[in-house]
């Protein structure tokens, strides 16, 4: 009987998964209610409810362009008979292959996102659209958002492989909001070096002012002095020196910029 | 053939004689040098390792790698303190003081020659790994400035002022600060030796009262202040403070050029190992000497230059491998010295290494028979990694 049906199935589904078909063909589809001569059996064979023959799995009848969200509309455990993919999972025995999906506990244990295919998500969005309002046109840049809504909560999701589904890093949630005490942040707390208002800026300003005074050139003002290219180079080199630490390139850059600034040949 | 054999034997005996000579005495190295001259074609070692130009002002790139001689009486006058101890021993052994002319010093000399005395004093910081020659480069610069008749304010090792000091007194001038009479008086003595001629020329510009009976009037020479500090050890620290203040004020007037040379300047902003009687630690700025010295290395005066070296040797609480400016100076030090010109002093390049070996060979310092062979030199190069300090220590065993 099985052999006769085999080519018919193949004809039905051109992209035939021969292996699967083979396996279903091979799997014991029917169990004839042959009584096994056991003494512990209480009921006679005719009283026992007849078990139905197992139907072929639903996957046989699935078209390639079917509506998948209707197969898995919600989060549901993995049903091997409803998922037409020849998925294998499990650690293989010696010279073996991972187990097939039928009766595979591993596939049941892990979470699946079969209910969240892009098509499904698009449908959700379409459905939700009628409940949404427009983004306020006035909030068109980041600063305005910050100003009106200073509280920001940042969550992060991680995709990782490991023994557990959960990733401990995903538990970290940051709340961003400027608090009163943050105004007391001192220079020692700064994460990176900011040149404005630093002692380096003051020093260089002093030095340059004195140089100018020596040359009897008293009509320069602060912005002009700080705006020259040499000072700009110097600022860059000091920032890189402080942020990156000492190494040959930062030190030589600093040296060159100081030399140019102080007019040393 | 027999004659040839004889001559060869005789020349070998000569050589042996020379060897014996070297072993026995360090007298008259010139004789031995002359002997060697006869034996070996000599123009290459001499030209490589020595130059006859003994005025640092005339040193240029062509002298790079060569040793120049400092006359011994100059040495006493210019460097009463300040030469590294091993160098002092070497001077005593060879009976001559020779410094190698190297790139960092040449660079600094170039800057110093072009100093604009109307501009604020520029700070130059020599840094480098241990044993590369920072202190000796500083000495080269000091010699140059001394020859050019600058006033030399040389603190040979600032680390000595932040560790192992006994007899700390509370400062009479400012109750918050502490005096170090011993260190101050030693320094004053050496300062006097180095700058004898200036002490009568420079006059103090205000009156200083030491105690009920003694005071220094306005207009009296600086030498009096120094004398006061040396004789009355209690006031030595204050005397140092006054000297520094007066020099800073007056260098701008142009009577003299001032060179501030501090070795181990990172001691000024580090930690000290000193504690008060109640075992609370003392910060560097609570020491009057350090406080006044910090004022000297700022660039709010003109009429001179400030040359500093960073040194890990002798520093307290700093890891051994640290040599970069920010590591040793810390944030406070860097911010105070900024902007400065950092000058790296590195290990010997091949030419300098060759020159150093030749110098030792000439002074018959290397007695090992393989020392002058190519293989021997390669071995020394490898062992010392061309580090001058390490090479000197290795050669001491040979």
Burial of A143 (0-12, 13-18, 19+ CB in 10 A): exposed
Closest residue by Cα to residue B42 from B32, B34, B54: B34
CA nearest neighbour of B241 among B171, B163, B152: B171
Average pLDDT, chain A: 76
**Chain A residue at shortest CA distance from B323:** A246
- For the stretch B130-143, pLDDT in tens is 888 889 999 999 99
Q: Is B299 on the interface with A (CB under 8 A)?
A: yes
**Nearest CB to A264: which of B111, B327, B342?**
B111
B170: left (phi over 0), alpha (psi -120 to 50) or beta: beta
Neighbours of A123 (CB within 10 A): 14
Local structure of B103: helix, strand or coil? helix
pLDDT of residue A46: 65
B chain contacts of residue A200, beta-carbon cutoff 8 Å = 335, 338-339
Query: What pLDDT, in 10s, does the model give residues B247-268?
Result: 888 888 878 888 999 988 888 8
Instruction: Check if B338 contacts A (Cβ < 8 Å).
Output: yes
Which is nearest to B369 in space by CA: B30, B18, B5, B43? B18
Could you give the CA distance from residue B34 to residue A30 in angstroms, rounded to a whole number?
Answer: 117
CA distance A226 to chain B (A): 14
What is the per-residue pLDDT across B90-133, written as a single tens digit (0 to 9) for each? 888 888 888 888 888 898 998 888 888 888 888 899 988 888 88
CB atoms near residue B142 (< 10 Å): 22
Q: Which residue has the higher pLDDT, A149 or A254?
A: A254
Tokens of A20: 């699967």
Q: What is the mean pLDDT of residues A133-149?
A: 80
Chain B positions in Cβ-Cβ contact with residue A263 (cut-off 8 Å): 116
DSSP A189: G
Q: Which of B111, B324, B339 sits opposite A203 (nearest CB)?
A: B339
Q: Find out whether B32 and B342 touch, Cβ atoms under 8 Å.
A: no
Average pLDDT, chain B: 81
- Report the pLDDT value the prediction gives residue B4, as an integer from 0 to 100: 52
Measure the CA–CA gap between B27 and B14, rounded to whole angstroms: 18
- What are the residues of chain A with a beta carbon less than 8 Å away from any beta carbon of chain B? 198-200, 203-204, 206-207, 210-211, 214-215, 234, 238, 241-242, 245-247, 251, 254-255, 258-259, 261-265
Short-list B117, B158, B119, B124, CA closest to B292: B158
State how far Cα B383 lies from the chain centre: 26
pLDDT tens-digit map of B10-69: 444 444 444 343 333 333 334 333 444 444 444 455 566 788 888 888 888 888 888 888
Do B110 and B77 form a contact (C-beta atoms < 8 A)?
no
Q: Output the six-digit token pair for B395.
A: 């050669």
- As a whole number of angstroms, the distance between CA B30 and CA A106 comes to 92
Q: CB of B303 within 8 A of CB of B258?
A: yes
Name the residue of chain A whose CA is nearest to B124's CA: A255
Full-prediction pTM beyond 0.90? no
Which residues of B are less than 8 Å from A210 in CB distance?
119-120, 299-300, 302
Give the mean pLDDT of B290-302. 87
Q: How confident is the model at residue A10 (pLDDT cuts 50, 70, 90)?
A: very low
């Amino acid at each position: 009987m099985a052999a006769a049906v085999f080519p018919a199935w193949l004809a039905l589904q051109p992209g035939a998964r021969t292996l699967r078909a083979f396996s279903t063909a091979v799997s014991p589809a029917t169990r004839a209610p042959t009584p096994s001569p056991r003494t512990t059996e209480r009921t006679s064979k005719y009283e026992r409810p007849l078990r139905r023959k197992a139907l072929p799995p639903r996957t046989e009848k699935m078209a390639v362009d079917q509506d998948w969200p209707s197969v898995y509309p919600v989060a549901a455990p993995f049903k091997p008979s409803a998922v037409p993919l020849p998925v294998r999972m499990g650690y293989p025995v010696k010279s073996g292959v991972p187990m097939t999906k039928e009766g595979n506990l591993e596939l049941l244990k892990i979470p699946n996102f079969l209910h969240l295919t892009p098509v499904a998500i698009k449908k959700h969005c379409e459905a939700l659209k009628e409940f949404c309002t427009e983004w306020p046109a006035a909030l068109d840049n980041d600063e305005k958002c910050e100003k009106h809504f200073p509280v920001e909560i940042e969550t992060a999701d991680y995709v990782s492989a490991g023994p557990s589904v959960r990733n401990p890093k995903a538990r970290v949630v940051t709340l961003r909001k400027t608090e009163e005490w943050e105004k007391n942040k001192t220079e020692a707390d700064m994460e990176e070096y900011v040149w404005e208002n630093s002692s380096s800026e003051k020093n260089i300003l002093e030095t340059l002012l004195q140089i100018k005074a020596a040359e009897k050139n008293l009509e320069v003002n602060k912005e002009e002095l700080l705006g020259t290219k040499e000072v700009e180079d110097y600022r860059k080199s000091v920032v890189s020196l402080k942020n990156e630490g000492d190494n040959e390139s930062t030190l030589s850059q600093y040296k060159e910029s100081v030399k140019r600034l102080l007019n040393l040949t | 053939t027999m004659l040839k054999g004889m001559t060869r034997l005789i020349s070998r005996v000569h050589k042996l004689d020379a060897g014996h000579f070297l072993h026995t005495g360090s007298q008259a190295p010139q004789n031995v040098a002359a002997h060697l001259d006869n034996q070996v074609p000599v123009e290459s070692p001499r030209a490589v390792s020595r130059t006859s130009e003994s005025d640092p002002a005339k040193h240029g790139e062509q002298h790079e790698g060569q040793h120049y001689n400092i006359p011994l009486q100059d040495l006493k006058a210019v460097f009463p303190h300040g030469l590294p101890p091993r160098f002092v021993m070497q001077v005593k052994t060879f009976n001559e003081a020779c410094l190698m002319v190297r790139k960092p010093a040449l660079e600094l000399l170039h800057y110093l020659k072009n100093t604009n005395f109307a501009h604020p004093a520029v700070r130059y910081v020599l840094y480098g790994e241990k044993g590369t020659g920072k202190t000796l480069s500083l000495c080269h610069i000091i010699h140059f400035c001394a020859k050019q008749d600058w006033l030399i304010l040389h603190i040979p090792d600032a680390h000595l002022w932040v560790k192992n000091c006994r007899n700390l007194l509370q400062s009479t001038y400012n109750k918050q600060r502490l005096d170090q009479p011993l260190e101050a008086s030693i320094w004053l003595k050496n300062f006097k030796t180095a700058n004898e001629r200036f002490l009568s020329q420079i006059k103090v510009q205000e009156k200083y009262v030491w105690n009920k009976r003694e005071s220094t009037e306005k207009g009296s020479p600086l030498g009096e202040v120094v004398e006061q500090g040396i004789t009355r050890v209690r006031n030595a620290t204050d005397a140092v403070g006054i000297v520094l203040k007066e020099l800073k004020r007056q260098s701008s007037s142009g009577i003299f050029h001032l060179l501030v040379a501090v070795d181990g300047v990172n001691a000024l902003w580090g930690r000290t190992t000193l504690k008060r009687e109640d075992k609370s630690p003392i910060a560097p700025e609570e020491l009057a000497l350090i406080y006044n010295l910090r004022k000297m290395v700022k660039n709010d005066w003109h009429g001179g230059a400030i040359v500093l070296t960073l040194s890990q040797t002798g520093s307290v609480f700093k890891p051994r491998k640290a040599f970069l400016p920010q590591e040793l100076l810390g944030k406070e030090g860097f911010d105070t010295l900024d902007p400065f010109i950092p000058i790296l002093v590195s290990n010997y390049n091949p030419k300098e290494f060759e020159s150093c070996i030749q110098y030792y060979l000439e002074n018959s310092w290397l007695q090992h028979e393989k020392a002058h062979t190519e293989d021997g030199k390669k071995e020394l190069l490898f062992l010392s990694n061309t580090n001058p300090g390490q090479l000197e220590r290795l050669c001491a065993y040979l």
